[in-house]
Amino acid sequence: MNNKKYKKRPGLRQALFMLLLATTTLLTLTGCGQVFDWISERNLDPSVGVVQVRGLQEDVSIRRDDYGVPFIEAQSLQDLTFGIGYAMAEDRLAQMVSMNLLARGRLAEMTGDIALDMDIYMRTLGIPQIIEERYAALSPQLKQHLTGFAAGVNAYINSHRDRLPLELMINDYQPEAWQPANTLGLFVMLNLGVGFNLHEELGFLQLAEKLGVEKAAYLAPIYPDEPIDLAEANKLAGVDLSGAESPVAAVKEQLEYLAAVEQKLKRINGQGIAASNNWGVHKDKTAAGATLVANDTHLLLSHPSTWMLMGVKSPEYSGVGITLPGIPALVAGYNGHIGWGETMVMADTQDVFLEKLRERDGKTEYLYQEQWYPVSSRSETIQVKGAKPVTIEVQSTRHGPLLNAAIKGKPKHEMIAIPASSEFGLALSWTAQFPDNTIDSFFNLGKAKTMDEAEQALNGVGFIHLNVIYGDKDNVAWQVTGNYPKRKAGSGHFPSPGWSGEYDWQGYWGGADTPRSRNPQSGYSGTGNNRTVAADYSPRLTSSWYYPERSERIMQMLTQHGGGHDYASMEAMQADRRDILVAKVQQLWGTEPWQNMIRDGVNALPEQQQEAANKALQIIHEFDGEMAEGSRSAAVWGGFEHNLIRAIFMDELGPEDGHLWQAFLAMNGRAYSGYQDHLLGRTQGSNWVPFWDDINTADTELPGQIIARALAATWPYLQQQLGSDDSQWRWGDLAFYHWQTETTHMLPFLSGLKAAAVESLAEYTDRGPYPAGGNRNTLNVAGYDLGSDYAVWNIPAMRMIVDFSQPEPLNLIVAGGQSGNPASPHYDDGIQLWLSRKNRNLPLNDAEKVKAHFVNERVLHAQ
């Protein structure tokens, strides 16, 4: 067993032991569990009984099932939203509060300076202003809806002031009254979480500084059947990215600072993660003659889960499905008529513009089409718990806020990097600037009774870019949502010079003009963050599609099964762990040129290494691609990939802890990668793509030589990780799931007593680790940092199947428990269910079945 995977940080524990010996005033950590239990248990409410509340017209019923999932029923929409607010706060108040503070750039008010850089980032993006602008544009009906929800949340807060959730108690934080506009902030964070091109562009800048723009472009390929985006990269060919006066050199500290901030945001918000599978099967291709819709969204492995389950019923709005804490609407699910689920489009809706800046008469100006213009500026003051307030100056050009300006304001806090004198800025254009009706549209989607009504509702979703697959008993459809920028030139894949105006945005497109289909001739629709349109589709949705293997496996399994699909075949697809990249590699390596090249590479190794390489090669040739946790062959494949990516790229992008390697790994996890593109045999004209050669040797290596090295390294590497007896090697002893709270995820950014306290808290709040199966390419995804470690961070955060042949069509689980309270039985009871790769039915249509399933009733009684 590989003890490293448990991430217990023995060095930290030894330091903590010494600290405890030397510091008698430190809280005795052995007693913390009892204290945590006492706080958490006080926060628990009974699942049955009557609660007297103010603000209701009539009583509201909150029934819960054996997993704590609520079904909320009211006689009016206003009372229903109140009940949703109360039940949601009961389950996830701490999560709601922390996400709202993060969205508003106020998290440091609760957690102190650990969150200051994230607050600065949010304020720089102008998210608090976006929230208020979008709330002001809501329909009166929706404002009333959110006001009712806020009243329910506040009724819970006010009755629990002396027994708040654990996270709020240990931070000594009293939450403010929930505001109706807070829900808008969570939608904005959802958008930010599924937008990632900003990270790719910043990573590209750093790589291009060292490698040049053309070579760096090979680390951000579009798709295996499309050419490398050299035309886009050459936008920057006239900019000296490696010279002393280069934009990258000038803002290098800002780039590294932003990378650190984004790492925190990734852990908290899932920012920049490729997410999800969905598919639909038309009734003609099913055994029972009724449509099937399936969805599993891929998000961070977090605890509590990103999603929560909920059933709701009123005369105006009913359904069962998933939602986000703080959003009183179903994001995916079934409403009695329509079932729907979504994946990321991978939309490129964020562009970085390099700006030439100068200081003149104490003011900052930027160059645009040979004229100098003053930047706009605003001051932001951030309250920091336990410290003085921090004031920053946020500067903007016509292209958007300057990201580096966020850390140039005065006064500077000690945590914030102090940049060198800079002549360049990084301005961000983002589709958040465009008006839309996303929130209203999501509510309308939940109320849709027909396919046409669902399509019309989705036309109004502008701020979130999704592949929605939806259907009723007789139909199935796919539709892209969102607003997309119209660019004068370029694709937006890589950063653009801002001073020429050549790459400016000219408004946006979207709405009813997005790609879609209904009842396709094949009978199947499916997406997996893949390219869903023709390579030359215009206007361009994105250049950053995810690896194609998941979507290919979806269609492979749908078509192989024939016309008899049913619930069982849908569940089997969601459980599938076959990586079809393995078969592609086997086919490539079986061709004569590659077979000879790899054989020659192995034969050139020392004899002992030849033996190790041949053993690994034989297993890979015979491997069926099933990444099961108990598979020895999967462990060999996983170990080989770890060594191959390092063998190809580490010589030019290392060291391992350097910013280039980290940028490269991040890009690999967000879109189709340079690693997989090399592995699949891309050529550069008549030459091999550039990174196969080891620059540390005098010779020019061929792919076969680098593959041979990786094969030879795999065996001793796995012996070190898993032990000398290779018959006992198992993939699940490398790859693992670990349910950790967002507090635990902050450990890398803490030290001393704070780290010790969080370590102690983690022993109480975290669950696992558990052996994992799958990888980045499998339908049952298990994404980890390839070439780094095997800690799985990208998982199916929910799994849903809507089987319209059944009286109660919806089957749905989330990756964890319903409750955020560690003392609740529903804090972690969903983990084993999720690990089983099975699903469970949640009724809606039959009142008696609802009562039989949701057996525990609590009534909010109107005073």
pLDDT at 751 over 90: no
Model pLDDT, residue 818: 97
> What's the whole-number mean pLDDT along residues 375-384?
95
pLDDT in tens, 265-300: 665 555 556 679 999 999 999 999 999 999 999 988
Quickly tell me which residue has 């949502």 as its tokens.
481
Which amino acid, residue 675?
Y
Instruction: Provide the annotated active-site residues.
Output: 276
Distance, in Å, from the CA atom of 602 to the CA atom of 179, rounded to the nearest integer, reads 65
Place 28 in a pLDDT band, splitting at 50, 70 and 90: very low
What pLDDT digit, counting tens, does each position of 70-81 carry?
A: 999 999 999 999
Considering only CA atoms, which of 822, 781, 834, 795 is closest in space to residue 304? 822
CA angle 556, 731, 787 (to 5 degrees): 90
User: Residue 450, Cα to own-chain centre: how many angstroms?
Assistant: 31
Helix (H, G, I), strand (E, B) or coil at 696: coil
Residue 449: pLDDT band with limits 50, 70, 90? very high
Q: What is the pLDDT of residues 572-618, one digit of tens each?
A: 999 999 999 999 999 999 999 999 999 999 999 999 999 999 999 99
Query: So what's the pLDDT on residue 418?
Result: 32
Is 410 a residue whose pLDDT tops 60?
no
Round to whole Å and give the CA distance between 821 and 40: 6
Name the amino acid, one letter, at 593. P
| pLDDT class of 684 with cuts at 50, 70, 90 | confident
Binding site annotation covers 209?
Answer: no
Confidence of residue 32 (pLDDT cuts 50, 70, 90): low
pLDDT the model gives residue 107 = 94
- Specify the pLDDT at position 561: 78
pLDDT in tens, 539-556: 999 999 999 999 999 999
Lowest mean pLDDT among 160-169, 556-565, 743-752, 812-821: 743-752
The burial of 210, by beta-carbon neighbours within 10 Å (0-12 exposed, 13-18 middle, 19 or more buried), is given as: middle
The packing angle between helices 127-136 and 77-103, to 10°, is 160
Provide the β-strand partners of residue 377: 395
Measured between alpha carbons, how far is 47 from 55 in angstroms, rounded to an integer? Answer: 21
Using DSSP, state whether 351 is helix, strand or coil: strand
More confident residue, 272 or 529: 529
Q: What is the domain partition of the chain in residue ranges?
A: 581-624+630-734
Q: What pLDDT is attached to residue 118?
A: 87
- Phi and psi dihedrals of 205, rounded to 5? -55, -45
Per the prediction, the chain carries an average pLDDT of 90
Please compute the mean of the pLDDT values over residues 64-88 and round it to a whole number: 98
pLDDT, average across residues 238-247: 70
Q: How many CA atoms lie within 13 A of 413 on its CB side?
A: 25
* Rounded average pLDDT over 502-525: 96
Coil, strand or helix at 283 = helix
The tens digit of pLDDT for each residue in 197-241 reads 888 898 898 899 899 999 999 999 999 999 999 999 999 988 877
Find all residues with CB under 8 Å of 687, minimum gap 6, and list them: none
Do residues 364 and 402 make contact, with C-beta atoms less than 8 angstroms apart?
A: no
Of the pLDDT bands very low, low, confident and very high (cuts 50, 70, 90), residue 836 is very high
pLDDT of residue 23: 31
DSSP 533-578: S-TT-SS---S-PPPSHHHHHHHHHHHHTTT-B-HHHHHHHHH--B
pLDDT in tens, 103-137: 999 999 999 988 888 899 899 999 999 999 999 99
| Out of 187-191, 253-257, 562-566, 609-613, least confident range | 253-257
Nearest of 407, 406, 402, 351 to residue 373 by alpha carbon: 402
Q: Annotation-wise, does 201 bind a ligand?
A: yes
pLDDT at 3: 35
> Do residues 671 and 616 make contact, with C-beta atoms less than 8 angstroms apart?
no
User: Is residue 380 marked as binding?
Assistant: no
pTM: 0.93
Measured CA distances, 758 to 17, 301, 306 (Å): 15, 19, 21
pLDDT at 20 over 60: no
- Six token digits for residue 639: 């170990």
Asked whether 809 and 843 are in contact (CB, 8 A), the reply is no
pLDDT digits (tens, 9 = 90+) for 756-796: 888 889 999 999 999 999 999 999 999 999 999 999 999 99
Rg from Cα positions in the chain? 27
Q: What is the pLDDT of residues 310-351, one digit of tens each?
A: 999 999 999 999 999 999 999 999 999 999 999 999 999 999
Between CA 172 and CA 112 the distance in angstroms is 11
Q: Which two tokens stand for residue 19?
A: 């600290």
